[in-house]
Amino acid sequence: MKGSVMGSGVFEDRYNPGMENTPPTSRRTILKSLAGLGMAATGLTSCQSNSNLSNSGIVRKAKAGAQYMGQFAAAPLERIRMGFIGTGARGSGHVAQMLLMEGVDVVAICDNHAPAADSAARRCEKAGRALPAVYDQGDEDYLRMLEEVELDAVIVATPWLWHAPMGVAIMETGAHAFLEVPLATTVDDLWKLVDTSETTGRHCMMMENVCYGREELLFLNMVRQGVIGEVNHGEGAYIHDLRHQVKEIERGEGTWRLAHHITRDGNLYPTHGLGPIAQMMGCERGLDRFERIVSFSSPARGRQLEAARDWPANHPRNQQKYICGDMNTSLIRTQHGRTIMVQHDVTSPRPYDRLNLISGTKGILAGFPTRVALDPEGKGAHGWTKGDGLKPIYEQYEHPLYVQVGEEARRAGGHGGMDFIMLWRIAYCLRNGLPMDQNLYEGAAWSAVSPLSEASVASLGEPQRFPDFTRGRWEATPELAVIGS
Ligand SMILES: NC(=O)c1ccc[n+]([C@@H]2O[C@H](COP(=O)([O-])OP(=O)(O)OC[C@H]3O[C@@H](n4cnc5c(N)ncnc54)[C@H](O)[C@@H]3O)[C@@H](O)[C@H]2O)c1
């Protein structure tokens, strides 16, 4: 299983029959930018072609021996031998929280930055556990870890371009892959993950923690109980002022995330706002699926202004052109004609917001701050209920999962407890041989918003069709239920 890591090459898919799309994104151009910025080399190579698109341009033939993973459940594991790749800001938190879970052994840690790997390993020792095997010898040392250590599951929290090749390698060595958001940045790489999961029979779950937020769980429960009637529209966003990343030169997201803003223009990080809304709507499982998307970006200003504020004129940060529009607004139309707006802005001085809005024939639920307006009898809903007024709503509709582990999750921390609940569920489902709450195809569809929005922005808003990663089987998988434990 040694050898070169997969790359996506030039983005060649045609999502729209009869329409040539050559979006600006390619791993190669991003790597060039990384090199230009003196950022870490990644060793990724390009290699892909897209010869087996069907006539519709949105479905690919399954590989020999593939199985549908919609409700896939693996054999139960009494204890989980878990490995980690990437123990920076995010991955180190995953290690700390997994040490709290019953039946989980942290047995291997990999990070190409030795102090990050070492500090995660020491954390295990401090928790009274055995010291895990450490792999810190460069970009591809994770391959050695996968070869040498017998692992049941591996959590990946590395820069985005590594998610897909690492996910493929993990599944090919027989472990389940749990990848940070997004699953991948190109449609080609998303298909690669789908094919590998289907042929190896291993989980490939994107770890969308926001699906486990208290408000998101509450809304899911209310939607499933029919409180807002027939759902017809949703809105999600990632609005987070991350301009400080322009200052990060040695460590941190600024060392790799910025390169995406130099080479790509679109909705670069869609899944936090979108995932929970898509689950409420039952997209890619049972009720509906994403069908097409249109996308527009505003002018790109914030990163350039920030670079000018932080660095002298001749600094590399000031010699780059940041092309990703400050605000990207994308609109998804589902197969049943419902709509979802998805926004991305990490460059403007705005308070954090994910919108988290879902609207139906009997009412509307929204976030930031949590608000509810209901009209069960058709008499009108012209004001929001919020703050203390929501007490009866929480009493009636608090999600059973939150009732069960919310207190423990709040104590553990991590985005208000959502990280803990997600990791708790992953461990629980693996140990009990249950399907994951977010399946392979949901992760792929939510992640596809990035490359498809880039294609739409590049073609001045031409609609782009979503691949059907389920190959027509999404209706066979029930929508996510309101799960207890
Ligand atoms: N779900 C969430 O709420 C959330 C929050 C933050 C970050 N994230 C995601 O987590 C991932 C990591 O983000 P972060 O903030 O921790 O970034 P980071 O830069 O702090 O950490 C990334 C780590 O990966 C390591 N790394 C890079 N290439 C590697 C390789 N080839 N092999 C082994 N290790 C390698 C780096 O040394 C670093 O320690 C990203 O995908 C990000 O989008 C998710």
Q: For the segment 161-213, what is each residue's pLDDT rounded down to a tens digit?
A: 999 999 999 999 999 999 999 999 999 999 999 999 999 999 999 999 999 99
Running DSSP on this structure, what letter comes out for residue 467? P
What is the model's pLDDT at position 59? 85
Q: Last residue of a domain, which of 152, 177, 201? A: 201
| Residue with CA at minimum distance from ligand 1 atom 5 | 90
Segments forming the whole domain that contains residue 154: 80-201
CA 159 to ligand 1 center in whole angstroms: 5
Same domain, 232 and 275: yes
Q: Are strands 176-179 and 290-297 parallel, antiparallel or unpaired?
A: unpaired
Residues 235 and 284 grouped into a single domain:
yes
pLDDT the model gives residue 33 = 52
* Cβ atoms 228, 359 nearer than 8 A: yes
Q: Which atom of ligand 1 is nearest to the CA of 269?
A: 43
Is residue 159 within 8 A of residue 257, CB to CB? The reply is yes
Q: Which residue lies with its CA nearest to atom 33 of ligand 1? A: 111
Task: Look at residue 358 and tell me if it is in a domain.
Answer: yes
Residue ending a domain, choose from 172, 201, 230: 201
- Hey, whose CA ends up nearest to atom 4 of ligand 1? 90
Name the pTM for this structure.
0.90
**How far is it, in rounded angstroms, from Cα 390 to Cα 229?**
19
Nearest CA to ligand 1 atom 43: 181
Ligand 1 centroid–CA 176 distance in Å is: 19
Q: What CATH number is given to the structural domain containing 385?
A: 3.30.360.10
The whole-number pLDDT of residue 29 equals: 54
Q: For residue 36, give both structure tokens.
A: 């230009």
What is the whole-number distance in angstroms between the Cα of residue 54 and the centre of ligand 1? 35
pLDDT at residue 17 in the model = 29
Which residues line the pocket of ligand 1, CB cutoff 6 A?
85-91, 110-113, 116, 139, 142, 157-160, 162, 180-181, 209, 252-253, 415
The one-letter amino acid code at 340 reads I
Please compute, for residue 33, the number of CA atoms within 13 A of its CA located in the half-sphere on the CB side. 23
Instruction: Check residue 21 and give its pLDDT.
Output: 29
pLDDT for 43: 31
For ligand 1, the distance from its centroid to the CA atom of residue 223, given in whole angstroms, is 33
Q: Which of 97, 158, 253 to mutate to test the pocket of ligand 1 (most atoms within 8 A of CB)?
A: 158
The per-residue b/e assignment along 248-277, b for 16 or more CB within 10 angstroms, e otherwise, is bbeeebbbbbbbbbbbbbbbbbbbbbbbbb
Number of domains forming the structure of the chain? 2
CA distance 302 to 257: 15
> Could you say which residues of the chain have pLDDT below 70?
1-57, 485
Q: Both tokens of residue 19? A: 């329409």
Last residue of a domain, one of 201, 233, 251: 201
pLDDT per residue over 55-96, tens digit each?
345 788 999 999 999 999 999 999 999 999 999 999 999 999
Residues 294 and 364 in one domain: yes
Q: How far is the CA of 135 from the centre of ligand 1 (A)?
A: 16
